[in-house]
Amino acid sequence: MSDAAAQGSRERHIVVLISGSGTNLQALIDAQNTPALPSARITLVLSNRKAAYGLTRAAQAVPPIPTAYLGLQPYLKANPGKTRDDYDREVGRIVARAKPDLVVLAGWMHIMGDGFLNVVGGDEPYDGEERVQKPIPVINLHPALPGAFDGAHAIERAYEAFQKGEIKHSGAMVHRVVKEVDRGEPVLVREVEILPGEPIEAFEERLHAVEWKIIVEGTRKVLDEGAPTTPVS
């Protein structure tokens, strides 16, 4: 039986959130509807930075992938009295309206608050009284091992710790998104060795190559856990 047949001939939809150049997004674009990520399509790429090259990658994909932009500071300026949590909630609404089977944070450099998780989890409406019928799983790619170097600049911090003899290796993981930063249940974990005398640029390059693989593998793993909902057109 083919992968498509095993999935009930249904296509799974993915929303990807980005902030930068989109190399992790590109790995997903290249993998969609291939044996690496069968019966799956990215239906929206949302960025919190207007100049993010990942938006160009999405627009230049074949076929082009719809994009959206919502920056925190422009949102707050345009909506006096609104808060960061209101912004997170609005991001959740944009995502929920796309009705994805999965949300992937692929270099999304903004810590999500309760507003986002409440909307995609079905605890708050996203459009009038409309709520998601089933919580939408959200996963994140983080360039560190579970419990190590949570938050920003994980690669630099791991490299520095290696130089001090505090660690022997680092790694990358795909994990579920929860309220605590980078503390959600790991979906996939890969160790990456740091070589003695290796410049940080070389270590970073090897780690990114691992990230491009596990973001695809983790996306497929989580998609395969849930029942797809959108028939192939």
Q: Which residues are catalytic?
A: 142
CB 161 within 8 A of CB 200: no
Q: What are phi and psi of 213, to 5 degrees?
A: -80, -45
Token digits of residue 60: 């230049």
Residue 35, Cβ neighbours under 10 Å: how many? 9
The DSSP line for 80-111 is TT--HHHHHHHHHHHHHHT--SEEEESS--S-
- The one-letter amino acid at 144: A
Burial 180-202 (b: 16+ CB within 10 A, else e): eebebeebbeeebebeeeeeeee
